[in-house]
Amino acid sequence: MTTIDTRQNQFENDLQLLKNALNHEKFSVDYSAVKLDSDNITTANAIPNELNESEKITVETHWWGVDFVLNEKLTQDIIAGTIASGPLATAIAAALAAAGVVTGGIATALGAGFAAAFALKAAEIKIVDNGKGVHFPVTWLQWAPVIASIPTGPAGIVAAIMVFIHPVRN
């Protein structure tokens, strides 16, 4: 086994430990399009009914971190301020859970924090958008201050996101 393989295995073990620690609580959240509980995730559609069908956000996991991918319709709605933070927070929380990043109360808190940060970053998003939407790549190192800010509440989460996480064009 090479040094790279050993480090990759250690990283995957550490990541699984983090996920297990964050997901230890029992929970149940039921939206019309997404039912989450501590034992399974059932999705008829990863976007709650409050969002327009053409507005989509996905969370993709990679070895380096996670990537929040917003399509052009959702990007334009954030820029214009025509999307409510509640449905956006719900969609982000559902996308985080569907990707297996975090679930439960942690996903809800992070969904609200990211929704607020996206709204505050509307000008930055507008500058970056080239008509294909934007994405927010978040390395595992960038996750550290976001996760550490959870006990401080929504303002702390938003502050951590605002400082360390920025949009990139699709």
Higher pLDDT, 24 or 112: 112
pLDDT, tens digit (0-9, with 9 covering 90-100), for 112-138: 999 999 999 999 999 999 999 999 999
Q: What is the DSSP secondary-structure string of 17-61?
A: HHHHHHT-S--EEE-SSEEEESS-EEES-SS-TTS-TT--EEEEE
DSSP secondary structure code for residue 12 in this structure: H
pLDDT, tens digit (0-9, with 9 covering 90-100), for 61-74: 999 999 999 999 99
Q: How confident is the model at residue 84 (pLDDT cuts 50, 70, 90)?
A: confident
Mean pLDDT for the stretch of residues 89-94: 90
- The label of the residue with tokens 């996920």 reads 19
What is the signed CA dihedral for 59, 22, 25, 68, rounded to 10 degrees?
Answer: -10
Contacts (Cβ under 8 Å, ≥6 apart) of 98: 34, 41, 43, 46, 59
User: What is the overall mean pLDDT for the chain?
Assistant: 79
Sketch the domain layout of the chain as residue ranges: 3-169
- The label of the residue with tokens 């401080």 reads 152
Read off the pTM. Answer: 0.69
Tell whether the model's pLDDT for residue 60 goes beyond 50.
yes
Q: How confident is the model at residue 24 (pLDDT cuts 50, 70, 90)?
A: low
